[in-house]
């Protein structure tokens, strides 16, 4: 078994699936000889050739639109968008075609495609390289949105995303691309695309997070333990569809919930989870559901980005407030 | 069969890589602005300043004092040529490495450092107050220039919008959309394609099967021309022609400036992964500064002593800019919120107040 970082697990999953399915084609800007600007496709062009791992011209809507065409005609495109900040031209193809091809044609044509993109802040990057706009895609009917938060989940969820018969936007939290390694067996085993992961057991409160925010949320869990609060930590992993059953099971037990995300607060995925809890867990709640999120502002450039990112401290404080309310 | 249309793309160079001048203009003359070679000295000085600034910025990044930085090494003639041809009231919509053009127009070196240092105030140029700031999403700026040109035309202002886009950027739909609109509406705009042969690791040949990028203008019904982008005189000349055309109401043009990115794409890149050193060395022989200097020396308006004095003076200016940058304190916490809207929504005010309180409480 190999010890790999999250970004290496992505490469491993791509290589596995390419080796086992000739219809998988990996492409994007700088994915070839350069192996992607984060090296997520390192070595793939060498291994599988230029036809299966081509560098595309610089055009994101083209990447999405050609993926729709390829997918509808028998291939499994796995395209890289270099940064989430440059994903917006794909919105047209994703919303107008990828998400509705199956339903439009009553299943005659489908879109088994994956768009991968690194996302999120905290790496001192230039403008447009730090945003988290997963909610945009989660709002689009017909598209799955997946966010792994560990090497193992990156491997299994990416395999499942490629094999899934529908379009998947696969967002990779780049702040934790290389923050730690773990053993991941390169066995082609996929993970389900509709299941939460409980990373920490607790009885007083449920903390719900995804992506790089898992790090601060787990840290908060430990700090809270020291302060006598037992926090359960859930990695949502699949933003759409949400495993609400899993989240509800936990919140019904703890009676409290705080949702953490980097993205702006307004209409963020946290709002959807909170609405579901209001509908389905109201009678079990001992305190209001709260959110710790980015502000409803443009992500500041990096001199102030730390102020924007939800910190362990903010999470702990919010949890203590919630505990005090009940 | 009959031919309905034929096209050609001209290429212009006045100063070759050895600094020798030749001209295909009537009478074999150089453009008027180069009639008196001494007039080119200030432009050469700015090219040198830009290069020394660039080296300093990279050094700052390497020592952790600057974020990712996009170098302009090798592009100085293209950039300064653009800046020198424009009028103050014209409007530049740059991409992210045209410092030479921006310095000419009044952008400060400390502005550039602040931007790449992660501080929004770098975008708040006091001069030129109407220019757009850096534009990272590739080719999106082309449409801003077209829109600015719509405004100038509508307002009957004799101004021209200028935008710069890379060879990679010419693959984006927005580049075509902008040129198409400009052609259809005869807008006062100049598109400069800074063809430095690479888009990060992707070579020019992989972007397009077109023989030249200039010919993409033809499809939009506007003139396209290729110039040696390392030749200050050629760039400025082509720019002046295009600006004049636009100002007279004769519509847009496109200029493909052939240059070379001698640096890594940005400080986050390592170009040795994907391109041959021999190619870079070959390109280095054609870089713009040494040919301009040779030309000026041959004309008797420049010498080694002046060069030495210039370099010392530039170093001082750069150091002063670095000091200004390093002495700029971080913005107050409310700055994250205060520029979002002219009339801030109540919910945002609440977020701001809470954030400020948390920051003050430590
Ligand atoms: C829309 C968009 N896609 C991708 C990127 C990432 N990116 C930054 S620069 C670059 C290459 C640009 O090449 P080119 O247009 O030739 O300009 P150059 O940097 O060479 O001057 C890419 C792909 C981006 N900034 N914007
Ligand atoms: Mg380029």
- Give the three-state DSSP class for B258: strand
Residues of B in contact with A302 (CB under 8 A): 67, 118
Residues B144, B40: one domain? yes
B304 close contact with A: CB closer than 8 A:
no
Q: What are phi and psi of A88, to 5 degrees?
A: -60, -30
Q: Are residues B314 and B278 in the same domain?
A: yes
Strand ranges in chain B using DSSP code E only, listed in sequence order: 11-12, 91-93, 161-166, 189-195, 198-199, 202-203, 224-228, 253-258
Contact B185, B253 (CB under 8 A): no
Domains of chain A, earliest start first: 2-184 (3.40.50.970), 197-325 (3.40.50.920)
Residues B79 and B91 placed together within one structural domain of the fold: yes
| Same domain, yes or no: B324 and B342 | no
**Interchain CB distance below 8 Å, B348 and A89:** no
Decide if B303 contacts A64 (C-beta within 8 A). Answer: no
Question: Would residue B50 count as lying in a domain?
Answer: yes
Residue B3, domain member (yes or no): no
pTM above 0.95, yes or no: yes
Burial class (CB in 10 A: 0-12, 13-18, 19+), A226: exposed
* C-beta of residue A49 within 8 angstroms of C-beta of residue A75: no
In a domain, B41, yes or no: yes
Contacts (Cβ under 8 Å, ≥6 apart) of A263? A131, A132, A133, A134, A135, A269, A293, A294
| CATH code of B109's domain | 3.40.50.970
Q: Is B265 a catalytic residue?
A: yes
Q: A127 and B172 in contact by Cβ < 8 A?
A: no
pLDDT of A180: 97
A75: helix, strand or coil: coil
Asked if the structure places residue B4 within a domain, the reply is no
Give how many domains chain B has, as a whole number.
2
B262 shares its domain with B357: no
Residue B25 forms part of a structural domain:
yes
Domain-located, residue B301: yes
The rounded Å distance from CA B204 to ligand 2 centre is 7
- B242 and B344 in a single domain? The answer is no
Q: Which of A85, A265, A298 has the CB atom closest to B137's CB atom?
A: A85
Host domain of residue B255: 11-331
The answer to whether residues B118 and B247 belong to one domain is: yes
- Report the residue of chain A nearest B114, measured CA to CA: A303
Protein residues whose CB sits closer than 6 Å to any atom of ligand 1: A 29, 58, 60, 82, 86; B 97, 136-138, 166-169, 194, 196, 198-200, 261, 265
Q: For residues B310 and B343, state if they share a domain.
A: no
Does one domain contain both B305 and B221?
yes
Does B356 share its domain with B265?
Answer: no
Query: Is A129 marked active-site?
Result: yes
Query: In this structure, is residue B5 part of a structural domain?
Result: no
B175 belongs to a structural domain: yes
pLDDT at position A326 is 85
State whether A126 and B68 contact (CB < 8 Å). Answer: yes
Token digits of residue A307: 């102020």
Report whether B311 contacts B293 (CB < 8 A). no
Q: What is the ipTM of this complex?
A: 0.95
C-alpha dist (Å) from residue A53 to A25, A76, B99: 6, 12, 35
Same domain? For B323 and B350 the reply is no
pLDDT value of residue A1: 79
Chain-chain contact of B173 with A296 (C-beta, under 8 angstroms) = no
β-strand A76-80 against A2-5: which pairing, if any? unpaired
Report d(CA B358, CA A164) in Å as an integer.
44
Give the span between the Cα atoms of B282 and B280, in whole angstroms.
5
Contact between B107 and B305 (Cβ < 8 Å): no
Q: What is the pLDDT along chain A (326 residues), one digit of tens a residue?
A: 789 999 999 999 999 999 999 999 999 999 999 999 999 999 999 999 999 999 999 999 999 999 999 999 999 999 999 999 999 999 999 999 999 999 999 999 999 999 999 999 999 999 999 999 999 999 999 999 999 999 999 999 999 999 999 999 999 999 999 999 999 999 999 999 999 999 999 999 999 999 999 999 999 999 999 999 999 999 999 999 999 999 999 999 999 999 999 999 999 999 999 999 999 999 999 999 999 999 999 999 999 999 999 999 999 999 999 999 98
| Residue B146 sits in the same domain as residue B288 | yes
What the block records as the tokens of A210 is 């995804």
Mutate to test the pocket of ligand 1, among B168, B173, B193 (most ligand atoms within 8 A of CB): B168
Residue B50 is encoded by which pair of tokens?
């830009």
**pLDDT tens readout for residues B267-290:** 999 999 999 999 999 999 999 999
């Amino acid at each position: 078994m190999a010890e790999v970082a999250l970004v290496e697990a992505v490469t491993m999953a791509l290589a596995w699936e390419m080796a086992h399915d000739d219809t998988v084609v990996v492409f994007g800007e700088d994915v070839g000889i350069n192996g992607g600007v984060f090296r997520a496709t390192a070595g793939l062009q060498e291994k599988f050739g230029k036809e299966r791992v081509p560098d595309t011209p610089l055009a994101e809507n083209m990447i999405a639109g050609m993926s729709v065409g390829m997918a509808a005609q028998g291939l499994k495109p796995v395209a890289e968008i270099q940064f989430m900040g440059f994903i917006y031209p794909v919105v047209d193809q994703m919303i107008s075609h990828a998400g509705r091809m199956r339903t439009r044609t009553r299943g005659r044509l489908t879109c088994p495609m994956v768009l991968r993109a690194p996302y999120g802040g905290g790496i001192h990057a230039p403008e447009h390289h730090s945003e988290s706009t997963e909610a945009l895609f989660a709002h689009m009917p017909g598209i799955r949105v997946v966010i792994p938060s560990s090497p193992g989940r990156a491997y299994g969820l990416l395999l499942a995303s490629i094999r899934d018969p529908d379009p998947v936007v696969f967002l990779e939290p780049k702040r934790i691309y290389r923050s730690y390694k773990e053993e991941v067996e390169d066995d082609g085993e996929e993970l389900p695309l509709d299941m939460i992961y409980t990373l920490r057991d607790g009885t007083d409160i449920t903390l719900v997070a995804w992506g790089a925010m898992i790090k601060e949320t787990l840290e908060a869990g430990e700090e809270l333990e020291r302060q006598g609060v037992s926090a359960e930590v859930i990695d949502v992993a699949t933003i759409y569809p949400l495993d609400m059953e899993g989240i509800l099971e936990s919140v019904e037990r703890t009676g409290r919930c705080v949702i953490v995300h980097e993205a702006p607060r307004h209409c963020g995925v946290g709002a959807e989870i909170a609405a579901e809890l209001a509908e389905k867990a109201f009678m079990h709640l001992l305190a209001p559901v709260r959110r710790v999120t980015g502000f409803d502002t443009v992500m500041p450039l990096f001199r102030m980005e730390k102020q924007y990112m939800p910190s362990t401290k903010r999470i702990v404080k919010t949890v203590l407030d919630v505990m005090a309310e009940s | 069969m009959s031919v309905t249309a034929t096209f050609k793309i001209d290429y212009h160079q006045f100063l070759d890589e050895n600094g020798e001048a030749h001209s295909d203009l009537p009478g074999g003359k150089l453009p008027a602005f180069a009639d008196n070679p001494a007039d080119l000295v200030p432009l050469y000085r700015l090219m040198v300043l830009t290069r020394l600034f660039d080296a300093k910025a990279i050094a700052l990044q390497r020592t952790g004092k600057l974020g990712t930085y996009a170098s302009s090494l090798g592009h100085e003639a293209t950039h300064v040529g653009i800046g020198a041809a424009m009028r103050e009231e014209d409007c530049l919509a740059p991409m992210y490495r045209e410092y030479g053009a921006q310095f000419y127009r009044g952008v400060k070196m400390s502005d550039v450092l602040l931007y790449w240092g992660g501080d929004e105030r770098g975008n708040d140029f006091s001069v030129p107050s109407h220019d757009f700031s850096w534009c990272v999403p590739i080719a999106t700026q082309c449409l801003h220039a077209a829109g600015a040109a719509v405004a100038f035309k509508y307002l009957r202002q004799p101004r021209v919008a200028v935008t710069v886009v890379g060879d990679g950027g010419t693959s984006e739909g927005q580049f075509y959309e902008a040129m198409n609109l400009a052609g259809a509406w005869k807008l006062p705009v100049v598109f400069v394609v800074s063809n430095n042969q690479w888009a990060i690791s992707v070579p020019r040949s992989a972007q397009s099967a077109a023989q030249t990028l200039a010919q993409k203008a033809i499809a939009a019904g506007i003139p396209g021309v290729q110039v040696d982008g390392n030749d200050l005189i050629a760039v400025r000349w082509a720019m002046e022609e295009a600006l004049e055309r636009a100002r007279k109401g004769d519509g847009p043009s496109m200029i493909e400036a052939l240059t070379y990115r001698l640096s890594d794409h940005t400080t986050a890149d390592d170009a040795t992964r994907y391109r041959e050193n021999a190619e870079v060395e070959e390109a280095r022989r054609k870089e713009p500064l040494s040919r301009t200097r040779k030309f000026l020396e041959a004309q008797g308006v420049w010498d080694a002593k002046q060069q030495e004095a210039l370099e010392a003076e530039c170093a001082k200016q750069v150091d002063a800019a670095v000091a200004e940058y390093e002495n700029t304190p971080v913005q107050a916490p409310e700055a994250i919120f205060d520029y979002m809207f002219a009339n801030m929504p109540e919910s945002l005010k609440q977020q701001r107040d809470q954030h400020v309180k948390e920051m003050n409480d430590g």
